[in-house]
């Protein structure tokens, strides 16, 4: 895991995927925060801690990660972080206004328990914002390196949210603009699987600058467009769910 966190930490600042990811997530957080700057927010499975900077403009941002290295990296951002398991979140019920989890649930042994825990720590009316891997046909080297146990469809994601006692606000595909490229690469990897072992996560390598700049422009334009139109397909699903204000 340490090597993966190191690779992620090096890529997050400039890699087109991470730039696009931030372009998708930041407006969602701004929308549900509704101008408030006094919220309590937590990133569940915060990895390097880099995404805490997306939460911080809206209040006090907390984080936790399954690994000790992840928790230490997050602490170095200057924000509270602990080592913890998303299936056993060490915070009292009704503590947070917004709980996020980005590319974590697909690798958690019991994603239902994990999301129920996220729902538990939310205040009534609080929001969960999730990014998860989409579509089994995209399973290839990346999935094996990151120990993905499942990939989601809008229907399966909706069931997961409902089982956790949350209400779906939005489930939408993201990275539609990259889908043809990713599908081609991953199908090629799967075709070659009988003849080789997975070669690590080459997708975390930052491309040459002209290509990286072009792909950044592409996904950022998609992020802007997605605020008005739903994408028909994509490599990930962005989920926004809300905890009911009253039981029942």
- pLDDT band for position 178 (cuts 50, 70, 90): very high
Better pLDDT: 100 or 2? 100
Token reading at 170: 């939005």
Residue 233, pLDDT above cutoff 80: yes
Q: Is residue 247 part of a domain?
A: no
Banded pLDDT at 5 (limits 50, 70, 90):
confident
Over range 202-231, report the average pLDDT: 93
Is the pTM of the predicted complex or chain greater than 0.75? yes
Total domains, the chain: 1
* Structure confidence at residue 143 as a pLDDT band (50, 70, 90): confident
pLDDT at 200: 58
Asked which of 140-149, 157-166, 191-200 is least confident by mean pLDDT, the reply is 191-200
Alpha-carbon distance values, 246 to 97, 124, 129, 242 (Å): 15, 7, 20, 12
Phi, psi of 144 (to 5 degrees): -75, -40
Task: Give residue 141's pLDDT.
Answer: 75
Instruction: Say whether pLDDT at 201 is over 70.
Output: no
Question: pLDDT of 48-80, one tens digit each?
Answer: 999 999 999 999 999 999 999 999 999 999 999
Query: What residues form DSSP beta bridges with 171?
Result: 239
- Condensed to tens digits (0 to 9), the pLDDT of residues 12-29 reads 999 999 999 999 999 999
* Greater pLDDT, 106 or 138: 106
Residue 1 pLDDT: 52
Domain-embedded: residue 133:
yes
Q: Is residue 109 part of a domain?
A: yes
27: burial class by Cβ within 10 Å (0-12, 13-18, 19+)?
middle
Mean pLDDT value of segment 156-173: 98
Q: Which CATH number fits the domain that encloses residue 141?
A: 3.40.50.150
> Would 144 be classed as within a structural domain?
yes
Query: 81-83 and 96-102 as β-strands: parallel, antiparallel, unpaired?
Result: unpaired
Q: 77 lies in which domain range?
A: 2-242
């Amino acid at each position: 895991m340490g090597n993966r966190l190191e690779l992620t930490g090096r890529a997050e600042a400039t890699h087109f995927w991470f730039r696009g990811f931030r372009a998708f997530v930041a407006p969602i957080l701004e929308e549900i925060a509704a101008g408030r700057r006094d919220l309590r927010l937590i990133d569940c499975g915060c990895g390097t801690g880099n995404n805490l900077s997306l939460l911080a403009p809206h209040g006090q941002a907390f984080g936790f990660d399954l690994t000790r290295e992840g928790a230490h990296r997050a602490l170095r951002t200057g924000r509270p972080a602990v080592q913890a398991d998303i299936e056993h979140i060490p915070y009292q019920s009704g503590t947070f206004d917004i709980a996020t989890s980005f590319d974590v649930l697909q690798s958690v042994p019991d994603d239902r328990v994990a999301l129920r825990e996220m729902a538990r720590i939310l205040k009534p009316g609080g929001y969960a914002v999730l990014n998860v891997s989409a579509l089994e046909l995209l399973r290839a080297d990346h999935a094996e390196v990151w120990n993905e146990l499942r990939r989601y469809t809008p229907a399966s994601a909706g069931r997961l949210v409902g089982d956790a006692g949350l209400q779906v606000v939005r489930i939408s595909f993201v990275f539609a603009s990259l889908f043809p490229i990713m599908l081609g690469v991953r199908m090629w990897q799967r075709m070659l699987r009988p003849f080789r072992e997975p070669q690590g996560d080459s997708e975390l390598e930052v491309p040459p600058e002209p290509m990286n700049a072009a792909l950044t422009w592409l996904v950022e334009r998609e992020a802007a467009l997605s605020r008005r139109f739903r994408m028909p397909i994509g490599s990930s699903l962005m989920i926004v769910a809300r905890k009911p204000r009253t039981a029942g």
